[in-house]
C-alpha cells in the first residue's frame, strides 16, 4: 500500500488500534508493518492467522477500524492484497522479527499447471537460505485464488544479512525489499 509521509502519524495510530482489536480475534497470530527503503511511501503489511476462518474474522475487524481511519488521512488508495495459502514456513513468524529486520519478497508466476513445481523450487531455495548468517525466518505459498502465483518472504536480521544472501555480481529479479517499520 502507499501512505504519504504526512499520514504516517495517523497510520501508526491505526496499526496500534488494529493490533489491539485483532488480539481479540480467535486465530490471530501477529501483525507487522514494513517500509520500502527506496520508496518511503510504499508499505507492506503482514497479517498472520492460524487458518482461513481466522483470516476472515480478522478481515471483518480490520474493515471496521479502517473505515474510521480513512476520514483522518489526506490520501487513501486501495491496498493490493495477497492472501497466501502457506505451503511452508520456518518457526519464526514475520511479526517476531526485530526492529532492525529486513524482509525480501518475491512474487513469481508459473506456467499453467506448474504451480506445485514452483512451490517445491521455492521450498528448496528457502531451505538453503536458512544457512546464511542473519537469516531469521521464511514463509511461502500460493495466492489462494491462483495456484500458479507463488509468494515467498524471507526475513533477515539486517540489510547486510540480506545483501550477504545475494550471489556476488547478481542483481535479484522480482524481489521487493522492506525494512521493519512496526
Q: pTM to 2 decimals?
A: 0.85
- pLDDT tens digits, one per residue of 123-163: 999 999 999 999 999 999 999 899 999 999 999 999 999 99
* Cβ proximity of 156 and 172 under 8 Å: no
d(Cα 72, Cα 17) in Å, to the nearest integer?
14
CB-side exposure of 73: number of CA atoms within 13 Å?
Answer: 21
Cα distance from N-terminal residue to C-terminal residue, the chain: 15
- pLDDT tens digits, one per residue of 81-112: 788 999 999 979 999 999 999 999 999 999 99
Domains of the chain in start order, with CATH, are 1-81 (3.30.70.100), 82-182 (3.30.70.100)
Amino acid at each position: 500500500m502507499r501512505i504519504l509521509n504526512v499520514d504516517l502519524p495517523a497510520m501508526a495510530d491505526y496499526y496500534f488500534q488494529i493490533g489491539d482489536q485483532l488480539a481479540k480475534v480467535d486465530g490471530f497470530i501477529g501483525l507487522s508493518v514494513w517500509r520500502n527503503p527506496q520508496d518511503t511511501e510504499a508499505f507492506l503489511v503482514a497479517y498472520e492467522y492460524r487458518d482461513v476462518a481466522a483470516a476472515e474474522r480478522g478481515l471483518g475487524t480490520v474493515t471496521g477500524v479502517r473505515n474510521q481511519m480513512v476520514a483522518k488521512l489526506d490520501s487513501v488508495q486501495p491496498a493490493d492484497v495477497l492472501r497466501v495459502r502457506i505451503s511452508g514456513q520456518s518457526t519464526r513468524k514475520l511479526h517476531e522479527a526485530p526492529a532492525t529486520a529486513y524482509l525480501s519478497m518475491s512474487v513469481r508466476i508459473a506456467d499453467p499447471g506448474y504451480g506445485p513445481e514452483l512451490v517445491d523450487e521455492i521450498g528448496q531455495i528457502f531451505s538453503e537460505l536458512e544457512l546464511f548468517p542473519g537469516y531469521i525466518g521464511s514463509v511461502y505459498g500460493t495466492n489462494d485464488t491462483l495456484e500458479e502465483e507463488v509468494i515467498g518472504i524471507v526475513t533477515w536480521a539486517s540489510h547486510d544479512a540480506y545483501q550477504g544472501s545475494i550471489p556476488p555480481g547478481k542483481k535479484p529479479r522480482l524481489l521487493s525489499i522492506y525494512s521493519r517499520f512496526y
